[in-house]
Each structure stands twice: as structure tokens, then as C-alpha cells.
Structure 1
Amino acid sequence: MQKVSELGSQDILLFFKNVEVDKFLPGDRYIKRILRPAWNLLHHRQKKTGFQVSFEMLADALRANGFNVRVNDYAAARKNPNHPVGVVGFPVILDGWRLPNPVLLGPSLYDHPGLAPKLFADKRFKSYLVLADWMKEMFAPYYGERCVQWFAGIDLDNWPDLSREPKQFDFLIYDKIRWDHDQMERDLIEPIRTRLHEQGHTFQEVRYKMHDHATLKTMLAQSRAMIFLCEHETQGLAYQEALASGVPVLAWDRGYWADPLWQRFLPSAPPASSVPFFSEQCGARFAGIEDFPAVLDNFWNNLTSFKPRNYVKTQLSPKRSAQIYADAYFGTAR
């Protein structure tokens, strides 16, 4: 094992902590921690938070590109106080943060910078990772040039090309609507179903958190295209996994941040996108249900012209993701 005193330019110290809460009884989070591995074997729902998935993708990309990643190695950090550290995940990890090292914060942590407007009053904190362009625009008025844009790289080996698999369905409707779902079911999802039926399209549906990766891969293999329904995304791993699989995406993208948190800090909802990493190679977008019929027809007529996997290969590679992170990470020590 490498001695902690020998940390160098290939050593990256990452710190991550998931949030655990009691659900039914005080202290039952500890019981859930013990039972979770067995329970996970019995269901096909999402087993990890998006924060944890993003963190693991970061660590994997760094390791694949030659970096020695240590996770939650407090001893190494304490013995190397000038070596930078990266802090990822939920804000709770910063509660009582005692390490003296320079810190690269993010991704994740805060949904809005107004939750921590004086974050950089702590001189240990050097930079903050943001994802989408719209997210940088929201954070920059608070954190300025400390904002560094990054993305989680999509590994094409983990998401092989499924475009030539036998298709049972024209569409996979991916429902990740998080606010006012009952209303959106009436005003958006059901009209989409109706239009698909009228046009003779076959489809299947999946709800966010109600699947694991294996289930999603199976559904993508069965589907010619995805209809992605989400108010906004900072990255959007599910639709990008579809793109990587060679499945074009038709996305609902109404253009603003739906989280009611904005009301605490802003006079109106700020701009946001449900597909922040996207191009004409990937598919098409519609802003409202009134636009859907025409966009659907054009999308379907041009289905074979899209090259979504190429977009992921060139724009969302793990190698590029790792290099952006490493540059920002080691830049904190300068």
C-alpha cells in the first residue's frame, strides 16, 4: 500500500457521504443499512441516489485515466494538508468539516447558491463544480469565477449500441416528472399517450426510481426511441444512457426551473433545460403539449438520421470528464 506521505500528482482524495434518514422509527436507518443488500436482491427499482451514481462515475473515470483515487481517506488528507481534496454529494458532508486541505466542491451539494451564499468565506474552499449551462448561470452571480463546469462521463462499454436490437415498441416513455404529477398526468402524459395511439405507435412506460440499470437497458433494447419527460436536469443520466445506447430522444423541454425553491431567492423561475447536453444528433425537443403533434411527426420521419451515440462519444466521454475534474482539482492547490 502506498504511504500517505507520498501523495503526488496522480493521487486524488474524494470524500462522499450519502444521506440516511429515519423513516418509521428513531434509529431505523441503521436497520435499513443492514437489510438493504438483501432487499436490493428482491426488487428492480433504483438502488442508488443520483448523487451516488454521479460520484461513482467520477471515481471510475478518474481511475480509468490513470489516477489513484482514494475515497474518504481522512488519514491521508490530514497527513498531507496541502494536497487538495474533492467533496461530493449532500451538504451534510460539510457539517463540522475539519480537514485543512484546499477543497474542490461538488458536483451536487446545493440546489441553489442562495442556500450557502457565504460558502467561500471559508478559505479552504476554492472552486465549485456545476454541470449544465443553465446551472452555471444560476450559480455565477454568487460564486463568480469559482464555478467550474463539469459532466459525468458516459462509458460506452457500459451502455452498448442497442439500435440494431429487435424492437417491440416505437417509444419508451420515461416519466421523471417530480412536481404536480397528477396535473401533469392529465395535461401532458395522457395527451401524449392519446396522440401516440392515434398515430398507431406502440409504446411502453417507466417511472423514475422504478427501475434499475438492467431493466432500463432491456427497455431501451426494445424501443426505437425515448420520450423523455422531466421538468429540468442538471445533467440527465437516464436520457444520456438512451443516447449512448443509440436510442434517439424526443424531450419535453419547457425551459425553466420547476423547483419551488426558486421562490426563496428569485422573482421568477430561472431558465433551465431538461436536456442540457443535447444537439440535433440526439433527437428533438418540444416546449408544450400544443407543440407535440408536429414535433412528433417530424421526429419520427427523421428517426434514422439521428446519431445519438456519436454525440455521447464526442461530447460526454469519461476521458474528457476525468481531465476536466483533474485540472480543477489540482488547480485548487495553486
Structure 2
Amino acid sequence: MGSSGNGLAERDTILLFYKEFEQDKFFKNDRYLKRMLKPLYNLTHHRQKKTGFAVSFELLRRALQKHGWKVRVNDYALARKCPHHPVGLVGFPTLLEDWTLPNPALLGPSLYDHPMLAPRLMQDSRYRTYLVLAQWTYDMFHPHYGDTCARWHAGIDTDEWIDTSSHAKDIDFLIYDKIRWNHDELALELLEPIREILRGRGLKVETVRYKYHDHLTYRRLLERSRAMVFLCEHETQGLAYQEALASNVPVLAWDNGYWLDPLWRQVSDTMIPASSVPFFSEDCGERFSDLAGFEPSLTRFLERMPLTRPRTYVLENLSMLQSAEIYARQYFSMIS
């Protein structure tokens, strides 16, 4: 086995760099105070304690380590010592603001929501590949970043998210409310009517809202649920609904077809195609595009539910081994 730089094994060690988004809220530099107080605050509530970016990064690290690679996180000294060894940069764009290391770099996932936010990013000779998640994000980035784009997915830990199909079920549909924009309006126009339709069919319904639960609460709800209605404008991966699939809970998903982040108007003259369930097949469940399509989709979903194989889909398409191998292949391709 060769080495890059000063004796670092070429295909043995992966150097990852991750930085959470932080900003001052009430006064200058209060983000550092919030960072110190956050562990104490997290003891006082049962909401989500990690961002989706942090969860995705942790899944990447675990997948790589589980399948044999040594992973060093934010080891600037080692990267500086071995300037020809690749680095992986993950998280928020703030990580790149003061990035001075010369190492060849694999960017993403995460970072920018749209390539027009950093149109000249890949002109930096250090930056070799830009990882995106969903096919729709690849289609959005590729015209700007070209063949430097590559797809990756976070692997779902199916040892953690076990098959719950044999558990006692007392919830017919768990509604996962991840509506992020115009929530009050969409709650009235979409969420509440869906609740009424389900209850009108004699189905028992529970609702969980994004950011207002922790993983233990969510896992226990999945154990009790026969199916899920997933409400979200779009997803680049969609860990929450994929955790449901891994639990063998089929999903009926609102998939409006477009990227509804208000940012789209700043970067495009036309609406950008997107999906709320970018990793999905008939084995997982059904989709509907609007409220008018919900009842027909619900009928098909209930008829087909015994034939769905959501956990099998995750095992075949979203495994941690696949995730690790895709990342490692892109990472080590930068070693000449």
C-alpha cells in the first residue's frame, strides 16, 4: 500500500471535515455561547437535537468505519502534513469560507442548495467532485458543475431501524408533517383535510411534526403504525420517510413535483422539478400530487399495501455498504 504525503496510507484513511451552521442571533458572537449551552438545553426537551445535515454526516462516518476505513474528523494537522491526500468537505458553506488547505477535495453532500449560489465553485482546482443526493438535485447541479457532479446517498442503518411489521399496531396512519413553508396555510388546505378523509374511513390517525420529536419517540410511533402519510415540499434524501420504510412501514407521500423553497425565484426563471420522495418505488407505497389526488391514491395504497416491500427496497437501494462504497470510490479516485 502506498502513501500520500508523509506516510499516510493511501486507501486506508479518509479525512472528513464537517462544520455545523452557526450564526449570531441576539448579539455579536453569541453563537459561541449557544454552542456551550446547547448540551444543557438538550437535556430539557424531547425535540430533535441534530440537524438533518448532522445526521447525514454521522451516517457517512459510521458507514465508512463499519466497512473498514479509518476516518479522521476535522484533523487539520494531519491534512496539512499530507497535502496530497484527499479530504472530504461536508456540511454548510461556512466550512469553505476560510478553507486554505491545498489537498484535493471531495465536496458534499450538503453545502449549497443551488449551484447559482456558488457558480464558480468548481473552477477551484482543489475541488474535484461535488456530491449530490437525489436525481433531481443532480439534474439541477449538472448543467452548472458538469461532470464534476456525482450522486451519493446516506445509508440507512437497518440494525437500528428494525422491521416492525410483527409489532402490535394501533395506529393506521402516522402523518409525518414536514411542511416547511406556509405551514399554517398548508395545514388548513392539505394536512387537516387529509386527517378528515382518513378518519372518515374509520382509520386511526396520529401526527408527528418535524423538529418536534426525538428519534426514540419517532421509533416508538413507527412500531405502532401500519402506514405513513408523508407531507413535505421536497427532499434531497428524506431520512425520516426512509427510516419508516426500513421499519417496514409503507408510505403514502405528497409529491407535488417542484422545488418549493422560496429561494427558487432568486436562481431560476422557471419552477425547478423536484421530489419529496427521491428514493422510492412501488415497493415503498404510493404518491399523490395534490389534495384532489389523495383519495384515489389512498384507495390504491390500501389495496396494494399487503404487496409492498418497503424494507426490502431500503436493503437493496439504501444500504450503509452501498453508501460507503460510493463515497470511498469517489474519494480515492483523487489519488493519482
> Which among 296, 304, 307 is matched to residue 305 of structure 1?
307
Alignment of structure 1 residues 77-156 onto 2, 5 Å: 77-156=79-158
CA contact (8 A) 2:133 2:236 kept: yes
Distance in 1, matches of 2:271 and 2:291, equals 20
1:77 alignment partner, SS class: helix
SS at match of 2:227: strand
**Equivalent residue for 2:46?**
44
Letter in 2 for 1:154: I
Secondary structure of 2:235 counterpart: coil
Deviation at 1:152, TM superposition (A): 0.1
Within 5 Å, give how 1:181-260 maps onto structure 2. Answer: 181-260=183-262
SS of the aligned residue for 1:110 comes to coil
For 1:135-166, what per-residue CA distance to the aligned partner results, in whole angstroms no more than 9, with x for missing partners? Answer: 00000010011001000000100101111111
The separation in 1 between residues aligned to 2:322 and 2:334, in whole angstroms, is: 19
Of the candidates 7, 10, 13, which is equivalent to residue 12 of structure 2?
Answer: 10
Cα deviation, 1:34-57, whole Å, max 9, x if unaligned, reads: 222222122110101111111110
Distance 2:149 2:123 in 1: 15
Distance 1:330 1:308 in 2: 32
Cα distance between partner residues in 1 of 2:265 and 2:38 = 36
Separation in structure 2 between the aligned mates of residue 42 and residue 265 of structure 1, nearest angstrom: 40
Gaps in structure 1 of 5+ consecutive residues: none
Measure, in 1, the Cα distance between the counterparts of 2:327 and 2:167: 35
> In structure 2, how many angstroms separate the alpha carbons of the residues matched to 1:186 and 1:42?
31
Deviates more, 1:183-192 or 1:237-246: 183-192
TM-score by length of 2: 0.96
Shift, 1:16, TM fit: 0.4
Q: Which amino acid aligns with 2:210?
A: Y
Match for 1:282: what amino acid?
C
Shift of 1:302: 2.1
Q: Give the counterpart letter for 2:76 in structure 1.
A: Y
Contact 1:5–1:79 (8 Å) recurs in 2: no
Q: Post-superposition shift, 1:262?
A: 1.5
1:19 to 18, 21, 28: 21
Q: 1:284, 1:4 → 2: CA distance?
A: 53
Partners of 1:4 and 1:75 within 8 A in 2: no
RMSD, matched Cα:
1.2
Determine if contact 2:10/2:335 at 8 Å carries over to the other structure.
no
Deviation at residue 25 of structure 1 after TM alignment: 3.3
Does residue 334 of structure 2 align to residue 332 of structure 1? Answer: yes
Q: Which amino acid aligns with 2:162?
A: P
CA distance in structure 2 between the partners assigned to 1:7 and 1:21 by the alignment: 37
Opposite residue 31 of structure 1, the aligned amino acid is L
Q: 1:71 aligns with which of 62, 70, 73?
A: 73
Amino acid at match of 2:32: Y
Q: Which moved more, 1:25-34 or 1:78-87?
A: 25-34
Aligned mate of 1:318, from 317, 320, 330 = 320
CA deviation map 1:7-29 (0-9, x unaligned): 32111000001112223333332
Output the CA distance in 2 between the equivalents of 1:156 and 1:301.
Answer: 27
1:5·1:76 contact (CA, 8 Å) conserved in 2?
A: no
Aligned residue identity for 1:90: F
CA offsets 1:153-203 (integer angstroms, 9 cap, x no match)? 001001011111111110100010111112111111111011011111111
Q: CA deviation at 1:4?
A: 6.6
Alpha-carbon separation, structure 2, partners of 1:173 and 1:120: 40
- Count of equivalent residues: 332
